[in-house]
């Protein structure tokens, strides 16, 4: 059975609309929550893909992210094993950092609607084509600059990157998994820093919901195609040690 692992950084941000897409394709997934003290998997080889989800803080805010080195280790393990990775929001920033980009010192959260623009580098990419010219929600805290030589596949209205690819990994600063209900949950999350215009962002999400769901369908279909997500990767057997009594 195909099995994905999703790293959750707050209770209010999970796979959202992506969950149903995966379930419809017969893909199982397991959540790991390092912000609760839960340890992350030791290996990439028991899973078929890794999803790094959104979060309340920027990668540069290490005092809020004591598990960050462990998560970067797991990310590098998936990249080394050439198993698919999808980073959403915070996860996209981590992917850019793992590729050699530097987290910027500004930590402020942001959320805004923009028209996605595929770049020349993204002209042949299915994910970039899926969002080109469509309204998407970009949301994260802080930014990570791209390393020299890495060209984004899509940008926002201001020319800032919102989609990148590194081998078998995609980083999405736009958020196909978000629902109006998830945005409401982030607003209600105790102590969470929020963009000043989050109310307007939520109102726009409700207004665009039918179009937003269609965009999500297009993005997930493109990710499945580009990353070959329906192919089950080889997993080493898990051996169970059985005690043997001295009489045997």
Compute mean pLDDT per 10 residues along the chain, 248 residues long, and list them: 93 93 90 96 94 95 95 97 97 96 90 98 98 98 94 97 97 97 96 94 97 96 96 76 54
Structural domains of the chain, count? 1
Which domain CATH number covers 15?
A: 3.40.50.880
How would you class 231 by CB atoms within 10 Å of its CB: exposed for 0-12, middle for 13-18, buried for 19 or more? Answer: exposed
pLDDT of residue 243: 55
- For the chain, the straight-line distance linking the first and the last C-alpha, in angstroms and rounded, comes to 36
Residue 166 falls inside a structural domain: yes
CA distance 31 to 45: 16
Tokens 């050699």 sit at which residue? 100
Cα–Cα distances in angstroms (integers) from residue 175 to residues 70, 86, 241, in the given order: 24, 11, 43
Residue 239 falls inside a structural domain: no
pLDDT of residue 240: 56
Contacts of 84 (CB under 8 A, 6+ apart): 48, 49, 50, 78, 168, 169, 227, 228, 229
Query: What sign has the CA pseudo-torsion 18, 24, 25, 27?
Result: positive
Residue 104 falls inside a structural domain: yes
Cβ density class 41-73: b for 16+ within 10 Å, e for less: beebeebbbbbbbbbbbbbbbeebbebbebbee
Could you give the residue ranges of the DSSP H alpha helices within the chain?
17-24, 68-80, 90-98, 126-131, 180-188, 198-207, 209-227
pLDDT of residue 242: 57
Residue 70 falls inside a structural domain: yes
Question: Which range marks the domain in which residue 37 is found?
Answer: 3-227
Residue 248 falls inside a structural domain: no
Residue 206 falls inside a structural domain: yes
* Token pair in block for residue 10: 């707050």
Residue 34 falls inside a structural domain: yes
Look up residue 10 and give its DSSP letter: B
Cα–Cα distances in angstroms (integers) from residue 83 to residues 3, 49, 51, 79, 227, in the given order: 12, 6, 11, 6, 9
pLDDT of residue 241: 53
Residue 106 falls inside a structural domain: yes
């Amino acid at each position: 059975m195909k099995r994905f692992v999703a790293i959750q950084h707050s209770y209010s941000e999970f796979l959202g609309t992506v969950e149903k897409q995966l379930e419809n394709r017969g893909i199982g997934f397991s959540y790991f929550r390092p912000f609760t003290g839960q340890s992350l998997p030791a290996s990439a080889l028991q899973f078929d893909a890794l999803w790094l989800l959104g979060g309340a803080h920027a990668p540069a805010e290490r005092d809020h992210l004591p598990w960050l080195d462990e998560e970067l280790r797991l990310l590098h393990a998936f990249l080394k094993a050439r198993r698919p990775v999808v980073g959403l929001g915070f996860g996209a920033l981590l992917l850019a950092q793992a590729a050699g980009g530097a987290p910027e010192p500004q930590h402020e959260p942001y959320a805004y609607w923009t028209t996605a623009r595929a770049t020349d580098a993204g002209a042949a990419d299915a994910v970039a084509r899926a969002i080109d010219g469509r309204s998407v929600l970009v949301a994260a805290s802080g930014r990570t600059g791209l390393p020299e030589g890495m060209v984004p596949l899509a940008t926002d209205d201001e020319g800032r990157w919102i989609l990148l690819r590194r081998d078998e990994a995609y980083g999405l600063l736009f958020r196909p998994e978000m629902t109006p209900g998830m945005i409401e949950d982030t607003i209600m999350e105790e102590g969470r820093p929020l963009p000043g215009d989050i109310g307007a962002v939520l109102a726009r999400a409700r207004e665009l919901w039918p179009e937003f769901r269609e965009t999500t369908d297009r993005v997930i279909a493109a990710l499945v195609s580009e990353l070959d997500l329906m192919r089950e990767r080889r997993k080493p057997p898990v051996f169970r040690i059985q005690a043997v009594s001295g009489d045997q």
